[in-house]
Amino acid sequence: MARTTKHGSEGQGNRADPELGQVAAERPGAPSMTTNQGVVIEDNRNSLKAGARGPTLLEDFILREKITHFDHERIPERIVHARGSGAHGWFRPYQSWASITRADFLQDPKRKTPVFVRFSTVAGGAGSNDTVRDVRGFAVKFYTREGNYDLVGNNIPVFFIQDAMRFPDLIHAVKPEPDREFPQAASAHDTFWDFASLMPESLHMLMWAMSDRAIPRSYRMMEGFGVHTFRFIDAAGGSRFVKFHWRPKLGSFSLVWDEAVKIAGADPDFHRRDLWDAIDQGDFPAFEFAVQIFDEEMAASFDFDVLDATKLIPEELVPLTPLGELVLDRNPDNFFAETEQVAFHPGHLVPGIDLSNDPLLQGRLFSYLDTQLSRLGSSNFHQIPVNRPKCPFANMQRGGHMRMSVEKGRVAYEPNSLDPLSPAQDPDRGYTHHPEAMESPKIRLRPESFADHHSQARLFWLSQTDVERTHMVAAFRFELSKVDTLAVRERMVGHLFDVHPELGGRVAAALGLEMDGDAAPVGREVAPSDPLSILKKAPETLATRKVGCLAVDGVSAATVDGFRRAVERKGGKLMIVSMKRGGFRSAEGEMIPADFFVQGGPSFLFDAVLLLGGATPPADFLMDAAARNFAADAFAHLKAIGADEGGVALLARAGIGEADFDEAVVPLASKVTPAAVSRFLSAAARHRLWSREAKVNAPV
């Protein structure tokens, strides 16, 4: 099937593209869309703004009704980001940043600011699996001396949509289909891809969501982004635009797809458990807080709009400036009281940090507060301990459901002359917004500078390694193969051709679609950006990694202890997997306790494995299905494997002969040599041997 038109490309302005059939007059018999009060809606896609690039107006009753209804659709679970894990910690700047912001918590490198961080998935409910393919939330609450500041972001620097008006539609599309309430925590179904295929502005985000970024190895090894453009304001009132970044000090790493699926079955709490265990064992997760800083003149020079949340700023254009470090060092005392009840809001700001006119951010400023009122049941949610500021706070707000503070006196208004000690406004220390000049008409209009939906999607594709591109093609293949409607599959693949002919062609071939790529890609030419690839910047390290040691009776305790010490010297942890839950009896006669029974400790829970079956492996070891799967999965998931004689025999039983061995499979002699240990540790520090993937034809 040859493409004769651009697929679903959307016109700008306040008219939808007729090709999409979204205008009521062009859909005979279809009712006009109205508000809940029966008022016909002219434009359901753009919020009312002061000019095309201006701020969203509070008087937009259509936007407020739509988002208010959406915010209150679930009680009490979060509608999005319901599945979360949290931790306490601290933030400390590297130096004073008074030259760029007056924010107090960024001034003194000797002072630690307490924080609470919540990581989450977006689409699934509170009981869904941790390792599904999804965007991850990365929200940080800073308890500063000037009040609470919330940096509410994701592990992907862009988003699906440009305007908050579309957020309810996006989530309705990705959530379980309402007539059947499945699939849970999954985008691989018709309604999501129908919506996405009609929304070319989502293409850039889809590239990230179909990449390995959407199946992270750990919350501790996951980047975070503020997504939107914000402002820093210095003491003199000077303004600079900023983009926020969190960089994990362990580096960024992901699972492979088959591994993620199997982990979901073996340990649905994999990420939650990993975060808890790391903190509990003193391996405190650490992130570097960095910003891209640029002024309005530089922003105007870019060939994309910094107010468009579907765009990022390549680091080649604006390098990162590291500001400080975030360390998580304490687990919650009570999950519900803290992780579940913590309430984030992008409008929780402190002096020195301000907003931009990003229309998606502007809608979030309304939506987050409204959601907390519904979910936590009261405007007094700020008095819940995890949300309560750690600095003094006082105002004239009184009463309300679940009011916990007890204010004394007869005065609850301002100005007053009856109580000279009552709270009063403070022009000198108070929060002030950047006085941005505005004079624009009230319109529902998308600026032309938001119109390029393809160039940065192509930028992401071109920036990936061959391995990462293969994974993206496989992800699109899996997701779109779950879509029953042929027209949706074809429309979506058409968009992928517009991003890059190779991408469209490979996905079309994988789906068995006869579509060509004769048309030129849409958008401008772009140069690859290496920081967008995980693999190009992945460090080689065993720090906090887990090595699973499958051992049987008769294996030398000295051998196991030698590997344990070697792994621990590199910052990792060796965990014993045994054919019996109690452990194994060593050649020296002592009982070595096990961390896992083999059926409950499959190899995909570990980062590298040792197979120790001894010189004469017992028959039950070689015949046990769980043991064979332990070996086979480790090989298929491209992990480092150390194997003694019995381990080599187990690999053979799993269909992996010595002819299949590669540099990450390390045979161990009866007497393990330091050279063999070193070789194994080196292979394990690389995390995966990607060259093995084509050979094993692993399901990616």
pLDDT tens by residue, 374-401:
888 888 888 899 999 998 888 888 888 8
The C-alpha angle 69, 75, 80, rounded to 5 degrees, equals 75
Specify the range with the lowest mean pLDDT, choosing from 488-502, 513-527, 568-582: 513-527
What is the pLDDT, as a whole number, of residue 255? 97
Neighbouring C-beta atoms of residue 566, cutoff 10 Å: 19
What confidence tens digit (pLDDT) does each residue in 270-298 have? 999 999 999 999 999 999 999 999 999 99
Report d(CA 662, CA 641) in Å as an integer.
10
- Each residue of 589-604: pLDDT tens digit? 999 999 999 999 999 9
The structural domains of the chain, with segments of one domain joined by +, span 50-383, 540-696
Give the span between the Cα atoms of 196 and 211, in whole angstroms. Answer: 16
Q: For 220-257, write each residue's pLDDT tens digit.
A: 999 999 999 999 999 999 999 999 999 999 999 999 99
DSSP 420-447: TTS----TTTS-----------EE----
Report the run of H or E that residue 110 belongs to, with start and end. Answer: none
CATH number of 50-383: 2.40.180.10
pLDDT of residue 45: 84
Catalytic residue of the set 7, 46, 81, 245: 81
- At residue 39, the pLDDT reads 66
- Strand pairing partners for 612? 551
Residue 7 appears among annotated catalytic residues: no
CA nearest to 312, candidates 221, 254, 423, 229? 229
Task: Provide the pLDDT confidence category of residue 4 given band limits of 50, 70 and 90.
Answer: very low
Q: Which of 395-409, 620-634, 636-650 has the lowest mean pLDDT?
A: 395-409
Instruction: Write down the catalytic residue from 46, 129, 148, 154.
Output: 154
Flag whether pLDDT at 106 surpasses 70: yes
Predicted TM-score (pTM) of the model is 0.90
More confident residue, 426 or 141: 141
Q: Select the more confidently predicted residue: 323 or 412.
A: 323
Contact present, 515 and 491 (Cβ < 8 Å): no
Q: Is the pLDDT of residue 194 over 50?
A: yes
User: Would you say residue 15 has pLDDT above 70?
Assistant: no
In the prediction, which pLDDT does 9 show?
41
Task: Name residues whose C-beta falls within 8 Å of residue 352's C-beta, 6 or more positions apart in sequence.
Answer: 101, 102, 103, 104, 106, 232, 233, 234
* pLDDT score for 75: 52
- Does residue 154 carry a catalytic annotation? yes
Mean pLDDT, rounded, for 544-554: 96
pLDDT surpasses 70 at 201:
yes
In single-letter form, the type of residue at position 161 comes to I
Mean pLDDT of all residues in 510-515: 94
pLDDT at residue 14 is higher than 60: no
* Mean pLDDT computed over 181-189: 94
- Whole-number mean pLDDT of the chain? 91
Q: Measuring CA to CA, which residue among 217, 5, 242 is closest to residue 130?
A: 217
Q: Tell me if residue 554 falls in helix, strand or coil.
A: coil
The whole-number pLDDT of residue 2 equals: 41
Dihedral through CA 215, CA 220, CA 225, CA 226, nearest 10? 120
pLDDT of residue 698: 53
- The answer to whether residue 1 scores a pLDDT higher than 50 is no
Rounded distance between C-alpha atoms, residue 232 and residue 107, angstroms? 13
Instruction: Say how many CA atoms lie within 13 Å of 287 toward its Cβ.
Output: 28
| Superfamily of chain region 540-696 | Class I glutamine amidotransferase (GATase) domain (3.40.50.880)
Q: What is the dihedral of CA 412, 414, 416, 419, to 10 degrees?
A: 50
Tokens of 593: 């306790």
Average pLDDT for 403-427 = 86
* Percent above pLDDT 90 for the chain: 74
Tokens of residue 428, six digits: 């000198």
- Residue 629 or 432, more confident: 629
Q: What is the pLDDT of residues 23-45, one digit of tens each?
A: 656 667 777 777 777 767 888 88
Q: Is the pLDDT of residue 16 over 50?
A: no
Strand blocks (E) in 538-615: 546-551, 573-578, 584-585, 591-592, 596-597, 608-612
pLDDT at 6: 46
> Distances in Å between the alpha carbon of 98 and those of 91, 232, 259?
17, 10, 46
550 forms bridges with which residues in the sheet? 577, 611
Q: What is the pLDDT of residue 518?
A: 66
Arithmetic mean of pLDDT, 520-526? 86
- Give per-residue pLDDT as tens, 455-493: 999 999 999 999 999 999 999 999 999 999 999 999 999
Query: Identity (one letter) of the amino acid at 201?
Result: E
From CA 420, how far away is CA 517, in angstroms rounded? 75
Q: Report pLDDT for 203.
A: 98
pLDDT digits (tens, 9 = 90+) for 51-68: 889 999 887 878 887 887
CA gap 582, 595 in Å, rounded? 9
